[in-house]
Amino acid sequence: MAPATRPKPLVCGPRLLADLEALSRFGRRATDHGIDRPAYSPSYRAALDWLRSRMEEAGLTVRMDAAGNLIGRLGRSSGPAVVCGSHIDTVPGGGALDGALGVVAGLEVARQLTDLVPGLTRAYEVVAFADEEGAYLSEIGVRAMVGDVSPDEVRSACGPDGPLADVLSRFGLNAADLSLAARPPSDFAAYLELHIEQGPVLQTLGKRIGIVTEIVGLLTGDLTFFGEANHAGTTPLPMRKDAFRAAAETVSAAFAAVETEFPAETRLTFGNIQLAPGAANVVPATAKLTYEIRAGDEALIDALHSRVLALAGRAAQRCRVEVADRTLARDAAAPMAPEMIATLESVASARGVETVRMPSGAGHDAQVMAGVCPTGMIFVPSIDGVSHNPSERTDVDDILLGASLLCHAVFDVLGCR
């Protein structure tokens, strides 16, 4: 008999899809089916309770840590675990797959291990990390787990239901105990996350599986131009000190530079502008531009930042205004581990599945785990690149293929073939 050529999925498709559907009901709006499930909210609590019972049914030992991460464990009760995870909180009006797919697929992996590997000698965990979307504090769950949340951040964090400390207390947790969620790197053998791409690249390339090479770094800042308010009717253009004109010239020159001088995956965004005094008949005295630069390579971020500053300086000079730059946030790029990339590529190619390497332009829990253990990520295509939106969709076959590869990769890393 000819050998089967199709990849043999280990996952039970109907069960996984039913789990995704069940989870999507928590916080789902009746109107547009967008999901409102911010971390620590009542809808989030209900979703966690549901997930806990699904984990227990799968034979996992389940606990919630001091940051609200839900952890299901299989196999040895101590020692390093191979971990699959993601998040089940959503942005306001979010979709059913962002984060949820990685958690539900991780749960399905646990069931396969229970069924196929009785007496697992190593440990496997599936984790739903708290507040990946940052309703209160971005990626607080995973950061607390690796011991990277400062008490100051926690004290000042505030979100849709008030200060984080109050919200945690209503949730049954204590902000002062958050550091108890920290675990040593020796707790983690490897981390794997399945996620929707949330962009159009895979669909455009006609590929079903992306292997993430790195999660890009990010620099956010603002540029403020200081000119002089004056009468819009009586002041001739060459005599103005127009702060907005300098800002506008900077923006167009910066876009021209990024498109001609930098690799295509470099991202530059001017997401906000504020003009003062802000009246139709007054030459703007100040213009404050918020910018964000993302790239997989720190040197590229620095190079583009310098280029934008130089262009801003030149525009300011031309317009006879002053300019000041301020950095608001800097997140380092997080490379995925070469051995995890190799494992994911080899389980795919062993099953005749083509993959493409790609950076992740969005942040994920994996970027924090990458700092403590070998980490890898699988992307499946987002239809039309849509995410953070009620119409976020992925083809069912792609969902199951991604989950199946995740499962094979975990078996491989655990040494169960």
Please report whether residue 75 would count as binding Zn ion according to CB under 5 A: no
Place of tokens 């547009």: 32
Q: How far is the CB of 91 from Zn ion (least distance, A)?
A: 9
Taking the alpha carbons of 59, 64, 69, 73 in that order, is the dihedral positive or negative? negative
Question: Residue 20 belongs to what H/E stretch?
Answer: helix 13-24
Give the nearer residue to Zn ion in terms of CB position, either 65 or 98.
Answer: 98
Please report whether residue 131 would count as binding Zn ion according to CB under 5 A: no
Please report whether residue 197 would count as binding Zn ion according to CB under 5 A: no
Residue 247: what are its φ and ψ, rounded to 5°?
-65, -45
Please report whether residue 38 would count as binding Zn ion according to CB under 5 A: no
Please report whether residue 392 would count as binding Zn ion according to CB under 5 A: no
> How many residues bind Zn ion, per CB under 5 A?
2
Q: How far is the CB of 284 from Zn ion (least distance, A)?
A: 38
Cβ-based neighbour number of residue 298 at 10 Å: 14
Taking the alpha carbons of 196, 199, 203, 207 in that order, is the dihedral positive or negative? negative
Give the nearer residue to Zn ion in terms of CB position, either 66 or 96.
Answer: 96
Give the nearer residue to Zn ion in terms of CB position, either 68 or 99.
Answer: 99
**Residue 383 and residue 200 in contact, taking contact as beta carbons nearer than 8 Å:** no
Q: How far is the CB of 236 from Zn ion (least distance, A)?
A: 53
Q: Which of residues 91-120 bind Zn ion (CB under 5 A)?
A: 98-99
Give the nearer residue to Zn ion in terms of CB position, either 38 or 99.
Answer: 99
Strands 188-196 and 375-380: parallel
Supply the DSSP symbol for 180: G
- Burial pattern 12-28, b for ≥16 Cβ within 10 A else e, equals beeebbebbeebbebbb
Give the nearer residue to Zn ion in terms of CB position, either 98 or 345.
Answer: 98
Give the nearer residue to Zn ion in terms of CB position, either 99 or 359.
Answer: 99
Q: Using CB positions, name the residue nearest to Zn ion.
A: 99
Give the nearer residue to Zn ion in terms of CB position, either 122 or 195.
Answer: 195
Q: How far is the CB of 405 from Zn ion (least distance, A)?
A: 18
Rounded to 10°, the helix 13-24/42-57 angle is 160
Q: How far is the CB of 145 from Zn ion (least distance, A)?
A: 16
Question: Does a cis peptide bond (omega within 30 degrees of 0) precede residue 184?
Answer: no
Per-residue binding string, Zn ion, 225-264, x by CB under 5 A, is ----------------------------------------
List contacts with Zn ion (CB under 5 A): 98-99
